Amino acid sequence: MRLLALSLMLLCSGAYCAEEDSDEHVAIVLARMNNIPPDSVEDTADSYFEGYIQALIDMHYYEYRVIVVVKDETVWITNLPKNKLIADSITSFVRDVPGVKCVKVVCGCPPEDLAHRAEIKDRPRIKGVWFPQTTELYLPMIANPRQVIYSLGYRGNDDVCGKCCAVFSMGDNFPIFRWLGVLPWCGDLQIGIETGIWSVFNLDPDYNPCGGTEMVNTDYFVGIPISYAVNEWAFRFRIWHESSHLGDEFLVNHPQFINCDGPPDEVRVNPSMEAIDFFTSYQANRNLRVYGGIGYIFHSDPTFKMKNWYFEYGGEFDFWGCKYYYHKLHGNFFTAVYFRNWEEMGYAWDQTYMIGYKWSKIQGVGRTIRIAADYHKGFSLEGQFMKRRSSYWEVKLMYGF
């Protein structure tokens, strides 16, 4: 009880002080993002407004040591990261703060007439950060059917798994450590862990003789990505493992896969492989991004031998973006394509096309929710069926970077 009473006294005292000084320190009292009324900002001292914007940047982009200077409601930003996508996101973030008239990016020290802040440039800068969560150096290739991401969707007319299917994936990239301003280009270097699963269920009641829903296949994935980003470029080197397992209901409905009395392509095998790959991404502008890479499978299970080389590439384009001020969200339409050419399939075309809409709290970076429709034509990617030709369409709800 004494502790509760003391807490109430402190709370009342804080409220009294805020009310007493509200005429001069309104920017401190109203400290939530985008909740400062513009008419109050006009009467706020530059130093308070500067501190408010600096705190917002440090909160949402804590991996970086960005410096903010405010004079006459014009914001000067310096020490931006070398990653152009993140730098553009920071400037857009500041422009959205109520009361900001203009944002100017400065290389090096702030302007001479703001020399009273110049000493901040020389403040100690950290060399790295553990477990960065706000930003990602190598962004997902969103139309990749094997992108590690959270998703739930419906698939129609799959030539391999069924005409009516439910598909979902669970996975994420867990950053471990990020080095800031390293190598001759002063970019950022990060190591992390990727884990994910992909499952497909046949929902067709006429297909399943035992009734219910048939889990056809589940693939399990783990990888160690090393990413590097500087200016418009991002690079990712990764070593990964993937294994596949047929569902119990599928084996019950298809006993030949267990009894080994069916055709060679209807006998249960053990798809499992380890590989390395290297991908490059180029952010041409705020709307267009292209990427591609090469991979090498250095080991596969003897029951499901895989040839070594593969190439994958694609791109994304964002358009018709807007901000929902009431909800504090950014939204825009997007289209994406992804192509795969694997030696195992004779380098034949495997293609995916996607269109959708996405929402995020911070423009350009951070976690994003996407609603999308896609069309895939080429080969099935489901476990031991990956060498069979297939085409299908999907609608999905996705969450991730």
Q: Between the CA atoms of 211, 395, 316 and 324, what dihedral angle is there, to the nearest 10 degrees?
A: -140
| Backbone phi and psi for residue 46, each to the nearest 5 degrees, phi listed first | -55, -35
pTM: 0.77
235 pLDDT band (50/70/90 cuts)?
very high
- CA 283-287-292 angle, 5° bins: 40
Residue 152 has pLDDT above 80, yes or no: yes
Residue 357 has pLDDT above 90, yes or no: yes
Residue 40: burial class (beta carbons within 10 Å; 0-12, 13-18, 19+): middle
Mean pLDDT of 134-149: 92
- Distance (Å, rounded) from C-alpha 237 to C-alpha 83? 18
Q: Say what the pLDDT of residue 88 is.
A: 82
User: For the chain, what percent of residues have pLDDT higher than 90?
Assistant: 45
| Pairing mode, strands 67-71 and 74-78 | antiparallel
72-86, 98-112, 133-147, 300-314: range with highest mean pLDDT? 300-314
pLDDT digits (tens, 9 = 90+) for 255-292: 777 766 666 667 788 899 999 999 999 999 888 999 99
CA distances to 224, 275, 383 from 300, rounded to whole Å, are: 18, 9, 13
- Distance (Å, rounded) from C-alpha 401 to C-alpha 380? 25
In this structure, are residues 279 and 138 in contact, taking their beta carbons and an 8 Å threshold? yes
CA distances to 109, 219, 238 from 212, rounded to whole Å, are: 67, 21, 39
In this structure, are residues 174 and 196 in contact, taking their beta carbons and an 8 Å threshold? no
Residue 19 has pLDDT above 50, yes or no: no
- Distance (Å, rounded) from C-alpha 349 to C-alpha 141? 18
Mean pLDDT of 143-152: 95
Residue 122 has pLDDT above 80, yes or no: no
Least confident interval from 201-210, 230-239, 242-251, 384-393? 201-210
Domains annotated for the chain, with CATH where assigned, are 13-125 (3.30.1340.30), 130-400 (2.40.230.10)
Q: Which tokens hold the place of 177?
A: 């450590």
pLDDT digits (tens, 9 = 90+) for 183-194: 888 889 999 999
Average pLDDT of the chain is: 81
Mean pLDDT of 206-222: 81
Of 282, 286, 357, the closest CA to residue 313 belongs to: 282
Q: Return the sign of the alpha-carbon dihedral for residues 152, 156, 157, 163.
A: positive
Rg of the chain on CA atoms, in Å:
26
